[in-house]
Structure 1
Amino acid sequence: MIHESICPRCGEPSPLGVCDRCRRGMAVLLQTPEAVELTVCPVCGSHPVRGRWQKDDEPIEDLISDAVAGEARIHQDLLDPEISISVKKKNATQYRATVTLSGKFGEIPAEEAKTVEATVRQATCERCSRMAGNYYEATVQVRGSAGAPAPEEVEECRNIAERATEAAFERGDRLSFIQETKVVKGGIDLVVGSTQQGRYIARAIHDRFGGTSGESYKLVGVKDGKNVHRTNILVRLPRLKAGDLVWARGTFLEVRRFEGKRTACRSLLDGNRVYLSIEESEDAPVVGNRSSAERCVVVAADRDVLEVLDPVSYRTVSASRPGLLTAGVGDEVEFLRFRGELVLLPPQERIGGVEPLQPPPQSY
C-alpha cells in the first residue's frame, strides 16, 4: 500500500513534506537594504567605487540602480529569477528605488517587491579639489634645439599632451590633468597634476618628434615627514623634422622618423634606410621640407637623369633621378631647390617593395 505524503502545515498532498506553497509563504525571496547612499562629485560627476573615485557618464538614476542591485540578495531556491529596478526622484538629493523580483519557487510562480530609499550626497573628488587648488606635480618644458618650435609644432604638442592626459586618466591616474599651458620664450610649459602623466606626455612628444628629454627635481616642502618634490621634464625637439631633406654622408637623405637618439632617414640614391646620430643630425645642412616641395613636368628621361621643366624659369633642367622614382615623360614629380639646382624627390607611397618610414604610433 502506497502512502502519499501530506504537507504538515496545510494538509495538502506533498511528496516532499512541506509543499511549495507553504515553503513560499515562509521564504523571503528578496533582501534589500532599507536605504543606500551615493556620493557624487558635483564638478565632474565621478563617484567612489571600492574606495577609489571613478567617472561614469551614467545618469544618477542608473548609478542608484547599480548600487541597489549590488546589495540585493535573492533566495537560492528561486528558479529563473528576473529583477527590475525603477528609480524616481523625490527632491534634489532623495530618490526612491522600487525593486521587483519574479521567478518560480518550485512549481509556483513567485513575485516580490521592495522599496529602497536613496540619498545622493555631494562631495568634491580629490582630482577636482586639487585642480581648484592649483595643485601640480610636474612641468613638461617643450623647447626647440635651434630657437622656439614652429607654431604648428607647438599646436601639435598641445594636442599630444591632451591625448596623453586622457590616456593616463583612463589608465587610472586620477591626478592626470593639465593645470596650465604657458607660452614661454623658446617653447611652452605644460603644468600637469601628476608626475607620471608628465612622463606620458614627454614620451608621446618624443615618439612623434624625436629629440632629447631629461628630468630635474625641486624640493618644495615637507608633508607627513617626507620631502615633497616637483619635477621638471625637459623635452627638446630636434633640429630636424619629418619630411626634411638633408645632405649627410655624401648624399641626400629624407628624414622619416625618430627612433630614440637616432634619426631614421631614406636615401634618395637607392631608397635604403640610413640612421644618423645626434651629432650628424645637428650638423647636416637642410635642403628643405617635403611639405614645401614644388612640382615640375618630366620632358625627357633616362635611367639616371631626368630633364624637367622648371616652373619658374620655364627652362629645361637636368636632375639626378632618385633610386625609387619611376616617372617618365609627361609625369609630374616633386622637387626642392638647393644651391641653384633641383633635387628630385621619390614618391611617398610604397614603391618597389620598399615601405617608406612613417611616424610611429603614439604611446603613452
Structure 2
Amino acid sequence: MSESREFCPRCGDPIPERGDPLPGEPRDRDESLCDACYFDDFDLVDAPDRIEVRVCSQCGAIHRGNRWVDVGARDYTDVAVDEVTEALGVHVEADDVTWGVEPEQVDQNTIRMHCLFSGTVRGTFLEEEVIVPVMISRQTCQRCGRIAGGYYSSIVQIRATDRTPTPEEEERAVEIAESYIADREEKGDRNAFISDIGETADGTNIKVSTNQMGGGIAKRVVRELGGHVKEYPTLVTEDGDGNEVYRVTYAVRLPKFTPGDVIDPDDDAGPVLVRSVQGNLKGTRLATGDQYEARFEEGETPDARKLGTAEDASETTVVAVEDDHAVQVLDPETYESKTVPRPDFFDPDAETVPVLKSRAGLHVLPEDVSETD
C-alpha cells in the first residue's frame, strides 16, 4: 500500500493511502490516525461492567423492560447468556466477526460470563476477551405477590337449585376453572390465576384474578354441567383515573336434577331416568324405554318430583316375561313376584335386572344405567 502525504497527528508517522472520501462525505477523524495509534484507543467490544437480572423466586419469571416475562427456567445460565448477548456491542468497523460465550457459575446468584470476540479491522485480525459478571437478584413478581396476598377480582360460586352440589359436580367445576386458567397462562397471560378455592355448606367458591376470567369460568361450568349464571357486581374502589372498579360475583346455579336421577314428571307418563341436563333435560322413560325431553320453557328443570337415583337401584331376579309389555320380577325387599312394565331396553334373555323401588312403584332400569352423561 503506498504512503500518502498525510502524517499521523499523534505520532507523526506517515499514513498509508486509503483513498479520498466521496464528495460531500465527511472524513472520519480516526482515519487521520495511523494503525498503531488507532488500535491504541480501539475497543472491539463494548460491554457493561456488570448485569443484574431480576428473577421471581416463586414462579421463575424475569424482569425485562418494565414487565415480568415467563421463561420457565430454574437454571438461569441461558437467561444470563441472553442478557449478556443483548448488552454487548461490537465495533461497527469490524468485519467477519465471530464470538462465543462461556459461563462460569461462581455461586447461586453470580454467573461470570467469559466472552471471546474476533474480527477484522483495517485488514488486521483482532481478538478480545471481556468478562461480564451477571448478578441474579431474587424478588417477587407482581403476580406472585398478588397470589400470596389473596388478591382477586371475581368470585365464581358453585351452587344448585333446591339442593347442594354433589362432590362430583364441585370437583368437576374446580377442574374446569383450573383448565381455563391453565389455557390463559399457556397463552402468556400473567394476569391469570386462582387465588383461593373454598368450601362452604352451600357449595364451592372460586376466587379468580379478573372479572373477565371469572365470567369465562362460569360460562364453561354451565356449558358442561347445565344450569344458569347470574352476575352481581359490587363497587370496591376507583382507579387512578377516577374509573369505578367493580368486583363481580358469578352465581352459578346448577340444575335441580342430575344425570342418574329418577324423576316423575307431572305428565302422567311415568318415571324418567335423567340422562342429560345440558340445555333441556333429557332422559329415558322407564315404563316404555322411549326418549324424553322437557319442553323448551321448562329447560333443565321440568315440574317433577325426584323418586331416587340410579345408585339406589338393586339387582333382582327376572321371574318371567309375560308379554311384550309386562315382565315379572322379584321385589328386592319383600321377595314377592311383581308384574311391572317391560321397557324397550329390557333384555328378554336376562336372568337379573336392576330395579328401583320408590313410592311410585317398582321400575326396571337400563343395564347401562351407570353410563348416564
Structure 2 length-normalised TM: 0.69
CA distance in 1, matches of 2:180, 2:348: 42
Is 2:366 the partner of 1:346? Answer: yes
User: Which residue does 1:42 correspond to in 2?
Assistant: 57
User: Which residue does 1:6 correspond to in 2?
Assistant: none
Tell me the alpha carbon deviations over residues 39-67 of structure 1, each in whole angstroms, 9 at most, x when there is no partner: 21112222246745315154223433455
User: Which residue does 1:279 correspond to in 2?
Assistant: 298
Cα pair distance change 1:333/1:98, threshold 3 Å: farther
Is 2:278 the partner of 1:259? Answer: yes
Which letter maps to 2:333? V
CA distance in 2, matches of 1:310, 1:73: 89
CA distance in 2, matches of 1:304, 1:68: 83
User: Which residue does 1:230 correspond to in 2?
Assistant: 247
Mark the structure with the bigger radius of gyration: 2
Q: Which has the higher contact order (CA 8 A, sep 6+)?
A: 1
CA distance in 2, matches of 1:98, 1:187: 59
Which letter maps to 2:273? E
Instruction: Summarize the alignment of residues 10-159 of structure 1 with structure 2, pairs less than 5 Å apart.
Output: 36-48=51-63, 51-54=67-70, 56-67=72-83, 87-98=103-114, 116-159=132-175
CA distance in 1, matches of 2:372, 2:64: 45
Which letter maps to 1:91? D
SS at match of 1:279: coil
CA distance in 1, matches of 2:80, 2:262: 60
In the alignment of these two chains, the number of paired residues is 313
User: Which residue does 1:180 correspond to in 2?
Assistant: 196
Is 2:223 the partner of 1:207? Answer: yes
Residue 312 of structure 1 deviates from its aligned partner by: 2.6
User: Which residue does 2:337 correspond to in 1?
Assistant: 316
Residue 231 of structure 1 deviates from its aligned partner by: 0.8
Which letter maps to 1:257? S
Is residue 131–residue 179 contact of structure 1 (8 Å, CA) maintained in 2? yes
Structure 2 unaligned blocks of 5 or more: 1-43, 119-126
Percent identity of equivalent pairs: 28
CA distance in 1, matches of 2:180, 2:270: 37
Structure 1 length-normalised TM: 0.71
Residue 115 of structure 1 deviates from its aligned partner by: 5.3
Residue 318 of structure 1 deviates from its aligned partner by: 2.1
Residue 276 of structure 1 deviates from its aligned partner by: 4.5
User: Which residue does 1:26 correspond to in 2?
Assistant: none
- RMSD between aligned residues: 3.8
Is residue 298–residue 328 contact of structure 1 (8 Å, CA) maintained in 2? no
Cα pair distance change 1:294/1:204, threshold 3 Å: farther
CA distance in 2, matches of 1:192, 1:89: 40
Residue range with higher mean Cα deviation, 120-129 or 271-280: 271-280
SS at match of 1:202: helix
User: Which residue does 1:220 correspond to in 2?
Assistant: 236
Residue 235 of structure 1 deviates from its aligned partner by: 0.6
Is residue 267–residue 274 contact of structure 1 (8 Å, CA) maintained in 2? no
Is residue 295–residue 333 contact of structure 1 (8 Å, CA) maintained in 2? yes
Residue 237 of structure 1 deviates from its aligned partner by: 1.6
Cα pair distance change 1:62/1:242, threshold 3 Å: farther
Residue 141 of structure 1 deviates from its aligned partner by: 1.9
Cα pair distance change 1:92/1:151, threshold 3 Å: same
CA distance in 2, matches of 1:71, 1:94: 17
Cα pair distance change 1:329/1:153, threshold 3 Å: closer
Is residue 299–residue 329 contact of structure 1 (8 Å, CA) maintained in 2? no
Tell me the alpha carbon deviations over residues 59-92 of structure 1, each in whole angstroms, 9 at most, x when there is no partner: 22343345556778999979xx9x9865332134
